[in-house]
Structure 1
């Protein structure tokens, strides 16, 4: 990989296209090397201690090595196949791991096209790092940008800005697929949890035990369960127990104490208080109401 960078003069006509490419390049950072390299252009230079802000967008593709990224919005480890999307006026800093170095491709750009798609929430400034893995099409587009920029043939600015738009489309598509996959995982987890709660309503089951059985962290489980169902898992379990209690109270041969025991509720006193809090009637009052209704029917 041969190190290369170029900064492009632009005209009003270029800017009227809607997206203007300002710079592009590729750099191989060897392990045990300092970053950025000394030949980094001064107006884009930064160090880890101070970071920097830009007045442009940048796409940076890491094709080899690992490192670190931090901004005012996030802090993430960078792996091979990471794409960093920088937004204007977003203070940030990044660097390769001193033991590995990395290979990077980048392109800087701005224009009303990008401003519009950010305003329409195709990209969120808080979401900076995308893990796309090795993607031959993305790598090819970066190489095309470098090739066209080297030749600087008439219309090259529009050609490389088209490649940037293609890159942005691929990045958005990859992110949408990741989001859908995460949604599938969440839905499957919640469905399994609801099934466990229903099947073991008479057992000493707790949300913490369910999370452990599903092999997920409890804080994440509680968060996604509540977001998906509108109820925290503990409240969902209580609602199931109350519904089951209503069914059991319709049987006059069952005492309230027996029902509390059957539902694994610690005491008949707590059961009565909980039932009244959720239903507005004590278990006895609810039973009398149900039996009265059945009598007249």
Structure 2
């Protein structure tokens, strides 16, 4: 069983930083995918089963639940040993590059092992994408872009603590938020501001 949808987003949506080029789901004894090279980023969320990926000449095991992150230009092939269930999306944009640079997606390699809660939340986001497509709103491209950001941010929870730049920046940003409190405003007196 499977379903898939592919898109050509409006050029103006590229300014959102992330555009959805395709989304789908499949399960069963699937044939291996590839070898191939994509022009875009891809996420394959394996929620049941196990298999392998050959990425840039190196074989990596995949055991559900796992996120498989593919970068543009990465030569790859992947598939299940006997069968699995997967959700996938193709996306592109400057935000994907930033997520990769920060180590939030695929920094340690193409396969990120997920804990069950994160995998469940990511499946819920994919279901939201499918529901949005079924409802067919006029602004479906913009909604999918927003949902992709949610998907990437959820996936980051498995890798964010591993990247030294992010691990160093997170405590600083928390301290920065505490010291940069804006003055409160008394809305009953126009033009007034008082310290909190």
Q: TM bucket by the smaller chain?
A: 0.7 to 0.9
Distance 1:151 1:157 in 2: 13
Which structure has more relative contact order (CA 8 Å, sep 6+)? It is 2
1:55 is paired with a residue whose SS is coil
Residue 28 of structure 1 corresponds to which residue in structure 2? 27
Unaligned runs of 5+ in 1: 37-45, 181-297
Structure with the higher helix share, 1 or 2: 1
Structure 1 length-normalised TM: 0.50
4+ aligned runs moved over 6 Å, structure 1 = none
User: Equivalent of 1:102, from 77, 84, 88?
Assistant: 84
1:162 aligns with 2:146: yes
Q: 1:117 offset after TM fit, Å?
A: 3.2
Structure with the higher strand share, 1 or 2: 2
- Partners of 1:87 and 1:125 within 8 A in 2: no
The CA deviation string for residues 123-179 of structure 1, in whole angstroms up to 9 with x for no partner, is 455521001033321110011112212333122212222221112112222223577
- Of structures 1 and 2, the larger Rg is shown by 1
User: Equivalent of 1:63, from 42, 47, 51?
Assistant: 47
Q: Where in structure 2 are the equivalents of 1:138-149 lying within 5 Å?
A: 138-149=122-133
Structure 2 length-normalised TM: 0.74
Q: Where in structure 2 are the equivalents of 1:31-110 lying within 5 Å?
A: 34-36=30-32, 46-47=33-34, 51-72=35-56, 74-97=58-81, 100-110=82-92
Residue 171 of structure 2 corresponds to which residue in structure 1? none
Q: Give the number of aligned pairs.
A: 162
User: Equivalent of 2:109, from 127, 132, 141?
Assistant: 127
Distance 1:94 1:21 in 2: 21
1:52 is paired with a residue whose SS is strand
